[in-house]
Each structure stands twice: as structure tokens, then as C-alpha cells.
Amino acid sequence: MSDSYTIGTLLLDRLHKLGLRHMFGIPGDYVLTLYKLLEESPIQHIGTTREDCAGFAADAYARIHGIGGACVTYCVGGLNMVNAIACAYAERSPVVLISGSPGLSERVNNPFLHHMVRDFSTQRDVFEKITVASTILDDPHIAEREIDRALNALIQFKRPIYLEIPRDLVLAPVQVVSTEPPKNKVCQSDPVALKEAVAEVRGILSGSERPFILAGAEIHRFGLQDELTELVERMNAPIATTLLGKSVIREDHPLNIGVYSGLVGREEVLEFVENADCLLTLGTLLTDVDDAKAHATLLAAGRTLHATADAIAIKHHKYEDVRFEDFIRALVTSPLPSFPGRALPLRDSVRFDPPVPEAAVTLYDVFGYLDGMLNDKTVVIADVGESLFAAADLRVRKSAEFLSPAYYTSMGFSVPAALGAGFADPTLRPLVLVGDGAFQMTGTELSTCLRHGHAPIVVVLNNRGYSTERKILEGPFNDIHEWEYEKICDLLGGGVGHRVDTFGALVQALQAAAQDHKHVHVLNVLLDPDDCSKAMKRVAQRLAKRMVEQKS
């Protein structure tokens, strides 16, 4: 780009300097001028089949790469993005959403323009509720300041932002004060408060014998995986992760006991955590899925630390002027005590006992076999339902190589997320775990994977309906029309489909897929609708228990 900027070129230049290399989206007339600039920029446009797929792809890209981007047209495109951006906001994923809009000049004489809903501010009003910063770039004099304000919020809070550009201002010239993006314009921690907070943690730990660390997704969002591992090893403290934070530390690490979740977690993990006398929760977004009883119990006893990007709370104190990243790094360098080793719960997944090849395939077989074939070049992407619950017990071999919408739990995330992950880190092979219902929502994004030469392995868990809802309340509304999913490759003109109804067919298909890095592989795994994983059984039992307790 030249030294003379327009609003459009300035925005794209800022994004490229922040590391954005790919932009997902679908063009429309209100954003075509910006798309032309995008084509001329170093950022590659990746066209998707749906706008919400662009949002999910940008979200996954951001989780791996650190920043993601999507560009769509006004209202019909933008409002199609609401669910995906809401997911990114809920789960702290730094996605930049850019939308075109009607030009300022055409609004004067023709207030009723196509795509418009209610008034010209409606779309911005919607996104203001689900982004950490939003702005309409309708004034060249303050465009640079507004772009940098929004990007600064993206960097600081790791949440999505919304930028809207009227189409007749994309090429409006701007006078630029700085050619660099706001990389370091984030508030710093109060050094006195930071020192006091770390000292208070040392005080709690000095009186503890059985401390435990529960880590969440924010560790990854802020790039603190190495610091977390160092802290765990220096303290010799056992660690578990929330379901959303799964794999923020390597799952084959000797101190990692797996996923702690009141609904999904194994009983022995729950008992181990609830036997702790001090709980350090780091970067966790605790929800009803996690149901962290140990946190509530130890909080009452004044033996907890709960550190997130929103607040640092130690016992009953809050430190408002301490940044999450600074606090975690200060803990790592602080002389915290080291604790004697303890017997840890064994991982169920290492005890897979394969059936005979002719046996009908089951969820136990699928996940038991998958656990043995994962390696440090596999990124596991799990959709909602059995795909997620059963995957809770998989051992991911490398930090931050498990993606899912485990908190927001939006179906349809996984296939477009595989597209985003493939561009974010081409060295990783996406393994997509998706139910048949979720695949019917967004499976068309395999078309884009084929177009760009990506080769995910897609395991469709075909039980002819919504299995999670069946466990909550059975009814014909949970049934869906069955597709021959293995034939989608014929429809799309690429890839290899497999029909899997026995354990032998499962092994054969997965081995073929693992050896072939050039083609998409889609496995149509035919499951009994009543089949469910151990994790799903735990969820059903605990939900039923909750309902009984609530009635009483």
C-alpha cells in the first residue's frame, strides 16, 4: 500500500500489520468497492457458502492465529453473522467483522434502500450488544482514531469488534497520524496491586497440602500456554481444564488429569478436584456445564483464586488494576511452593478394548480408536452434542489443538471451523467430529475446503437425529431426514467418502484417511440412535439428578 490512505486501505493495512492474512466472507453490492481493495491487498479473500460459515471460520482462525476477519454486505449478510459473532464474543475470540452499508449520499433522497431493516443504525445497534467495540466509519477526519480504538479493544479483550463502512466512503482519503496499528496501547497493571495479589496467592498456598489448578480457554486466547505449563511443573500441582479450555495444556502431560466438568467430567476427576484444599482457576469461563462445586466450597473457606481477563479475585478480594496476562506471568516468576506428588486418576481412554471387525460400530469404538491415532499434527474440532461430550475424554497431544463451541454450544461450528483452522495453520490436519444434524446445517463448507486444496477428515456421527435432545426429552421433533453423507464427495466433485457400519470398516476408513493428506475424507458412521458415550450417560444422569433436586 502507498503512503496515501483511504478509509478502506487504512483499515486493510492495519489488519495486515496485526497479522491478518485471510478474510472470510461473501460479497454484496454495498461492500464491492472494499472487496476490490481487498483483492489488491496482501490479505487473501476466502469466499464461503454462507455468512455464518464465514463467521465460524474466522472464529477458528482467530483461536489459532490470534486474529480473524470476516467481510460481508449490509443486513442480509451482516445479520446472518449474528450467531457466529455471538459465539466469538461468549468464548473470547478476536474476530474483526467488517460490513458495507448504503452510501451517505444515497440515504438522503432514497431512505428506503434494499437490505435495510427499520433504520440505518439497526445493524450497528445489534452488533453493539455482542462486540467489545463497534463503529461506523462515516467521517474521514476521525476514521483513523475510530479504527485504532476498535482494534485496541480487540487486542486487549480478545473479543470481536464491528466496523461498518458506507460504500461511498471506502475511497475517501484520510490523513494518517501513524502507519502502525495500536499494538501496545493497552493499560498496564498497577505494580503495587500486582505484587500484593501474588503475595496473597503465596499466602494461601503456604497453608495448603492439596492445591489444584483448573485452567480455561483464556490461557490460550492470551497466549499463556507455556507459562501455564511452567507454573504447573514448578508447583508440581495437578491440573484439569474446563471443556471449553480443553488442551490449553498438553493432555498427555503427566500432571493433567483431563476435563473437569460437573456435567461431562469423569466421577474420579470430580472427586479428586473436590478433595483439593486450594483451587486456582485460571482463565476459566465457568458455566452450568462446568458446575464447579469445589470452587463454591473453597470460596466460602477463603481458599480460592479466580483469575480471568475480567477480574482477579483472591479469596474475597478483587484486584481491579491487575491485568490477567501480567498476573499469570508474575505467578510463574514468583517463588511459589512446590508440592509432593500425589496419585492421580487414570485416564479411561488408554484402556480401549477393540471389538471384532464384524461388530456393529459404536461411539465407544469411534472415540476409543481415534484416541490412539491422534498426534501432534492433528487439530480436533468438535461440534455440539455427542461430538463434544465424547471428545472430552480424548487425549490431545499438543497444547491448544482442540476447538469447540463448548460454552456457547452452537451447532454447525465444526466444518467451517476446519476451513478456518486450515488457513490459520496449514501444518495441522483437522479432524472434524460432527453430528448428522450439525452437518446438515453447515456441511456445505466442505466445498470451500475442496476449492482451496484442504483435506480435513470429517467423521459424521449419524444417529438420525439430535441425540442430546433425545436424552433430555424424547419426541419425533428430534428426528431428521437421513442423508447418504459419504456421497457428498460425489456431489462436490472431490474427496473420498466412506460408509462405516462395522468396526472393521471404521478402522479401514480412518487408516485410509490418515495416510492420504491430499483429499477430504468423509466418514458416514452409522450408529444406533440409542447408542451413547460414557460422557453422554454422565450428562443424562446428572441432568436428571438436577431436575429432581430442583423439584424438591
Does 3.40.50.1220 match the CATH number of domain 191-333? yes
Give whole-number Cα distances, 13 to 20, 23, 62, in Å. Answer: 10, 13, 18
Helix (H) or strand (E) holding 310: none
DSSP string, 9-76: HHHHHHHHHTT--EEEE---GGGHHHHHHHHHSSSEEEE-SSHHHHHHHHHHHHHHHS-EEEEE-TTT
HEC states along 515-532?
HCCCCCEEEEEECCCCCC
Taking the domains of the chain in order of start, what are their residue ranges? 5-174, 191-333, 348-538
How do the pLDDT tens digits run along the chain, 552 residues long?
446 899 999 999 999 999 999 999 999 999 999 999 999 999 999 999 999 999 999 999 999 999 999 999 998 999 999 999 999 999 999 999 999 999 988 888 767 777 877 888 899 999 999 999 999 999 999 999 999 999 999 999 999 999 999 999 999 999 999 888 876 556 789 999 999 999 999 999 999 999 999 999 999 999 999 999 999 999 999 999 998 999 999 888 999 998 887 677 788 888 888 889 999 999 998 766 555 555 555 555 568 899 999 999 998 889 989 999 999 999 999 999 999 999 898 765 557 889 999 999 999 999 999 999 998 899 999 999 899 988 988 888 776 689 999 888 899 999 999 999 999 999 999 999 999 999 999 999 999 999 999 999 999 999 988 877 777 677 888 888 999 999 999 999 999 999 999 999 999 999 999 999 999 999 999 999 988 888 887 777 777 666 666 666
Question: Distance between CA atoms of 163 and 208, rounded to whole angstroms?
Answer: 49
Concatenated DSSP letters of 219-266: HHHTT-HHHHHHHHHHHT--EEE-STTTTSS-TTSTTEEEE--TTTS-
Residue burial 461-473, b: 16+ Cβ < 10 Å; e: rest: bbbbbbbbebbee
Closest CA to 508 of 530, 528, 523, 529: 523
Phi first, then psi: what are they for 283, rounded to 5°?
70, 30
Cα distance between residue 85 and residue 97, in whole Å: 8
Domains 5-174 and 348-538 equal at CATH topology level: yes
> What residue type is 163 in one-letter code?
L
Residue 490 to residues 173, 403, 446, 454, Cα–Cα distance (Å): 49, 28, 12, 16
Q: How far apart are CA 31 and CA 76, in angstroms?
A: 12
Pairing of strands 312-314, 278-282: unpaired
Residue 325 in grid coordinates: 496476562
Helix H, strand E, coil C: the string for 78-134 is CHHHHHHHHHHHHCCCCEEEEEEECCHHHHHHCCCCCCCCCCCCHHHHHHHCCCCEE
* Distance of alpha carbon 66 from alpha carbon 225, whole angstroms: 13
Cα separation, 87 vs 357, in Å, equals: 40
Sheet holding 402-403, edge to edge: 402-403, 378-382, 429-435, 457-462, 521-526, 496-500
**pTM score:** 0.92
> Using an 8 Å Cβ cutoff, are 101 and 30 in contact?
yes
Cβ 309 vs Cβ 283: under 8 Å: yes
Give the DSSP H/E element, type plus range, for residue 512.
helix 503-515
Q: Assign domain 5-174 to a CATH class.
A: alpha beta
Architecture field, domain 348-538: 3-Layer(aba) Sandwich (3.40)
Ranges assigned E (strand) in 137-222 = 161-166, 173-174, 211-215
